[in-house]
Structure 1
C-alpha cells in the first residue's frame, strides 16, 4: 500500500453528530526505532510488545459545523480543559487532514484519560495518539460504512504514526512490527502489522514490571533525539544492527530461546542510550538508579538462572521483562531488591496485551 491508498475519494453517508470512544495501550519496543526520515518514516524497523494495563481512554464528541476554514476542537484531560495539549493535536490534524478531510467539517471535544498517572514518566504519546486516531477512523467508518476491518486498522495505524511514530504499534497486539523488513511478511514503513510468524508459548502473557525511576519531564525530548541521528557517526551501523537483530529474533520467537532473547533485547536497550550519549550534542537520559537496577538484574539472573531481563525506553525508567511461568520468584525479587530504586517506591505491573478496543459509539 502507498500513502495515496489512504486518501478517501468520497463518502456515502452524512453524519450530523455523535460520539465514539476507544482505549489504546502503550507499547515497549524490543528492537528500538531511533531516527526517522521525513513524514515520520522510521530509519529502521522495530518490534514491540503491546502492553495491557498502561492505556489511554479517549472519547471524541463531534458535531457538524458551517464552513471549513479551520479545525475547531477543545481538549479535556481527566476532566480538565488542557489548552497546552492543543498545539500537538493541531499539528496532528494538520498532518492527517489530507487523509481525513472531514476533520474541518466538524467541531470536536476530545476527552482523554490514562490508566496510569500522567506524571509517572511513562510516555503516553503512543497510547494517546493511537486512541485519537482510532476515534477519527470510527467517524470515517460512519461516513463510509463499506470500509473493511483490515483497511480500518491499517489506516488507524497509518494516522497514529503521523501523530507519534511509536503510536502505530499500539493498534494491534501482542507483537507488532513497524518498518519494512525483508524477512517480515507485509511489514511496512507506513503502519504497524501483527507479527504473523510462529511465537513460542514462553512469550505468551510475558510480564513487564515498569520501575518508575524518574517521573519528571525528560531533559531532551524524543523528537529532538531522533533528529540527532541525522549525521550521527554511528547511524548507518545502528540501522543495520536493528535490521539484523529483528531477523535474529524470528527463530528466537519460534523456539522460545529466552537466553538469546535476553541478549538481543538488553543489547538493544543499551544501544539506544549509547546513540544518545554519542550524538552531537550528546545527552544522557539514564539516572544512577537506572544503572543500579540493571546491575541488580544481572546479578540476580547470574545467581538464580531465572530469565529476567530489562529494556529501556527513551528515559530513565526500567521495564523488567520475564515469562509468566517465573512470575512469583521474579516479582518477589523486584519487590525486595528493585523497588527501593524507584521514585517514591512507585512501579506499574503490566503484561503483554491484545491491542486497542472500541468502547462505544453513538449517533
Structure 2
C-alpha cells in the first residue's frame, strides 16, 4: 500500500481569506487560482501494517506540532474512507522554496491527498480528492484539480470542493508568471483565524462575489487584462483585510513594493501587459504574456530580487513506482 504523487503550488487569482469552520477548513467564500509549474511537491505515502507510529518528513526534516496535526487530518480521512488502520510513512520534497508566499502548503497537501488515496486503494475523482486535501489547506483543493480551478464554498464535502475551469488553451499556453522572490518567512494560519475580526472583512465579502464573477467570465473568454487586473485588485483587498486584523499582519517588504512600482511603470510607460499579484506573503507573482517575459523578468531582476519564470501547471497526478522517495 504505497504510492507517489506530484502536485503544483498555486497563485491566487481571487483568494479566500478566513474560514467559517477551521476544523473542516470551510472558507467563507469561493476562490479561484492557477497552478504554477515547473514548481512542484513530490510525496510518497506508504501504509505499513508493521509500523507502530506515523512518520512525516518534509524536505528531510521530521514534521511535528501543528504541521503534523494538519498532515494527520488528511491521513486519518483517507484511513476512514478506505477502512484501514495501518500506520503511515510520509516523505515529501519541494523543488522550490517554501514559506515565502509561493503556495507550498497547497502543493504539499494536494500531493499528500493524491498519494494517500492511491496508496489506500480509493477510487475517487479529483474533485472528491480535493475535499480530502482541503482538510490540510483549503488552497490544496485547487492544487488537486490543477490549471485554473475554483473552490466552492459550502458546509459539506458535496458542496465545498474544487473544479477545473474551462479556459482557452491559447490563453493557458501564453501565460508566463515571473516570480519575484522576496524571502520572508510567514505562516498564514493566524491571519485566517483573525479574518472576521477585521473591520474590512465585511466590505471584502460585499464585493468578492463580483470579483469572482468577473474572473470566471474573463477566464472563459481568455481575456488576459481582465483576469489579471482582477487578481491585482484582489491582492490589494486581501492585504487591506490582513493588515487591519487584530495583529495587524503586514507581509509585504520594501522589495515587494518596489516590484509593484516596476510593474506599474512597465504597464504605463512601455505598454506591457503585466500585472502583479500576491497571496499572504512578500513574494510577488508578475503575470505577463510569453512575448514579454524576458523584458519583464529583466525589469524585476533590476529590483534586486531573485526571479524565475513559471507557466501553468496541471492537476495532482500519480507517478511511477520508480519515482518513490523511499
TM-score (norm 1): 0.79
Root-mean-square deviation (Å): 2.5
Which whole-Å deviations, capped at 9, do the CAs of 1:240-267 have from their partners, x for residues lacking one?
3221111112332233333333321110
- What is the distance in 2 between the residues matched to 1:322 and 1:297? 10
- What is the distance in 2 between the residues matched to 1:47 and 1:189? 15
1:174 aligns with: 147
Of the candidates 307, 320, 325, which is equivalent to residue 360 of structure 1? Answer: 320
Does residue 67 of structure 2 align to residue 88 of structure 1?
Answer: yes
2:161 aligns with: 191
Which ranges in structure 1 are unaligned for 5 or more consecutive residues? 1-17, 182-186
Greater shift, 303-312 or 202-211, is seen at 202-211
Which whole-Å deviations, capped at 9, do the CAs of 1:311-334 have from their partners, x for residues lacking one?
00101111011122x2xx342232
1:45 CA displacement: 0.8
- What is the distance in 1 between the residues matched to 2:111 and 2:159? 20
2:76 aligns with: 97
Q: Is the 8 A contact 1:46 1:242 kept in 2?
A: no
Of the candidates 240, 243, 247, which is equivalent to residue 209 of structure 2? Answer: 243
- What is the distance in 1 between the residues matched to 2:215 and 2:62? 43
1:193 CA displacement: 0.6
Q: Is the 8 A contact 1:40 1:165 kept in 2?
A: yes
* Compared CA separation, residues 188 and 318, structure 1 to 2 (3 A): farther
- What is the distance in 2 between the residues matched to 1:303 and 1:174? 31
Which whole-Å deviations, capped at 9, do the CAs of 1:291-330 have from their partners, x for residues lacking one?
1111111111111222111100101111011122x2xx34
Q: Equivalent residue of 1:290, what SS?
A: helix
CA radius of gyration, larger in: 1
Q: Is the 8 A contact 2:78 2:116 kept in 1?
A: no
Does residue 260 of structure 2 align to residue 291 of structure 1?
Answer: no
2:242 aligns with: 276
- What is the distance in 1 between the residues matched to 2:247 and 2:97? 31
TM-score (norm 2): 0.88
How many aligned positions are there? 317
- What is the distance in 2 between the residues matched to 1:103 and 1:233? 45
Q: Equivalent residue of 1:105, what SS?
A: coil
1:10-159 to structure 2, matched below 5 A, reads 18-38=1-21, 39-65=24-50, 72-78=53-59, 80=60, 82-85=61-64, 87-94=66-73, 97=76, 100-101=79-80, 105-118=85-98, 122-141=102-121, 147=123, 151-159=124-132
Q: Equivalent residue of 1:108, what SS?
A: strand
1:107 CA displacement: 2.5
* Compared CA separation, residues 119 and 97, structure 1 to 2 (3 A): closer
Of the candidates 278, 294, 301, which is equivalent to residue 312 of structure 1? Answer: 278
1:333 aligns with: 296
